[in-house]
Structure formats: C-alpha cells, structure tokens
Amino acid sequence: MDHEQAEWNRFCRAIESVKDGLILFCTGAGISKASGIPTFRGSDIEAVWNRSPMELGTYAFFEETPVGHWEWFLGRFDSYFERQPNPAHYAVTALERWQQARGGRMTVITQNIDLLHDRAGTKELIHIHGDMGHARCTRYGCENGAPKGKIRFDSLDFSAFRAEPRLEHIPRCSACGSLVRIHALLFDEYYTSHRDYRMRDAMNATQEARLMVFVGTSFSVGVTAAMLESAHLRQVPAFSLNPEVETGDWEGVGVMNLQVNAEEALPRLCEAVGASM
C-alpha cells in the first residue's frame, strides 16, 4: 500500500469513528473552484486577492469611494449568483445526512459568501464571513444594519448603478436612507461586528468537535487559526483537502493534508463510508 492510499484510509477511518460526536468541516474558496469561482489566495491566475486586497476588500475603501467599492464587488461577484454547487458541495450535504442518521452531528463553517452550500442543501451551516444573498445598511443600529439587520440583495435595484456607476445610483436603506454595503466581513472588520457571522457558535463548535476537516482553505484567516489551535490543544484529529498544499505540510500543527481536489475526493469519501449522494 502506498503512502497516499494509507493516508486516505486513515482519513476514512477517522470519519467513520465519530459516530455520536461532532464532525466539523471548514470550507474555503477551493471547494467552489469547480463551480467556476476563482480562489482567493491560491495560484489561480484569476485569484480574487491577487490585486491589492487591503485596498479593495476593506470598509475604509468603501468609505473613501463607495462607487469604486461597489464597482469592484459587482464586477467580481455578480456572476456568482448564476453558479451552481459542484459534487463537493453535494457530498458535504450527503455526509451531513449520513452523520445525523448515525446519531451524530456535523457542522460546516464556510468562509465563502457564494451560498453554494445552501443551494446544495447543507443545513448546519455557519456563514462566518457573511453571504452575498444580502446587503445591509451602513448605519450601525439601523433595523437594516449591524449588529442584527440585513436586506435581501434581490430586493435592491442596481440597474441604474450598473448602467452608470455614480454615488446617487447606489441603493439606499429603506428605513433610514443611508447607503447600503455588502453583507460580508471585510479585511479591516471584526467577526463580532454582525451576529450573522456567528463567531461564538463557530468557537463553540471548535471546542466540541471530535474531528475537523478543512476543505480548500489556505489557513490564512482568523477562524482557521483558532480551529487549528483548538485541534492541537485538544489533540483532535484534523485533515485538510487541498491540492495546492504539499502532503504533510501541516503535520507540525497536527493536520494531515491530502493533496486532492474536493470535487473528486468528497464524493469518493461518501462512497467509502456509505453516504448516499
């Protein structure tokens, strides 16, 4: 048996062993690559953050030039509304059903705002960075703004802005008249800035999990660091599925990386453990 097969078998056994506990998945941009969505910090030529993330992806940039910020967001993310889940998303949903049928639990923390897990039917889902299905008012305390409020994105009319990007064409909050912003965590913001990010729930899950699986993430954001620390301190088995990371790169912090594509590996995992897709 070669080394890669031995690692795969170890991964399957670990999943099967958590019969009555919590399996925690954390998904990053890599899981949506097969749906036609570029990764964020990977080697893709279309990677979102290849161009000045600290300029485009901050609230400071929005305050400085809301027109430029919305042009960037719509130009980059508008097409994502048409994207569909790929086999990796459906496999995660199948694994959730399978784990629940065994009397266990499974929670998915996704760093992605693309809503593909939702479309694939995953239920126990934490949108740790928000979601593109909503916007929100920029005025803190407004019923449509942080820390609790939001607005359905499809209720906003961006047609005038798309035709002619001007400040007066950015939709306004129906409650107070302030500008609207994307409902996503920006680089200069905190996880505690909106209740939808559910940071407390995510941290509770990291403390309860008996197994962690990271899919398509580069471990470059705060929530993954907290999960890694929890797994290491509690000696919880942790696996990463990422074709761009060399096998074994994360073993020093207790993570076994499998150099595989999520859209191939997760359906294969379902077949191995008997989770019907």
Positions marked active-site = 129
Task: Please give the span between the terminal C-alpha atoms of the chain, in angstroms, as a whole number.
Answer: 28
Length of the chain counted residue by residue: 277
Instruction: Report which of 201, 189, 190, 35 is spatially closest to residue 112, judged by C-alpha positions.
Output: 35
Q: Is the peptide bond before 147 cis (omega within 30 degrees of 0)?
A: yes
CA distances from 202 to 127, 196, 198 (A): 9, 11, 6
CA 235 to CA 96: how far, in whole Å? 23
CA distance 163 to 143: 29
- Inter-axis angle of helices 3-17 and 262-273, nearest 10: 60
- The token pair at 172 is 């306004």
Helix (H, G, I), strand (E, B) or coil at 85: coil
Q: Which two tokens stand for residue 41?
A: 């910090």
Pairwise CA distance, residues 32 & 85, whole Å: 7
For 135, the enclosing helix (H) or strand (E) is: strand 130-137
Which residues have C-beta within 8 Å of that of residue 168, sequence separation ≥ 6? none
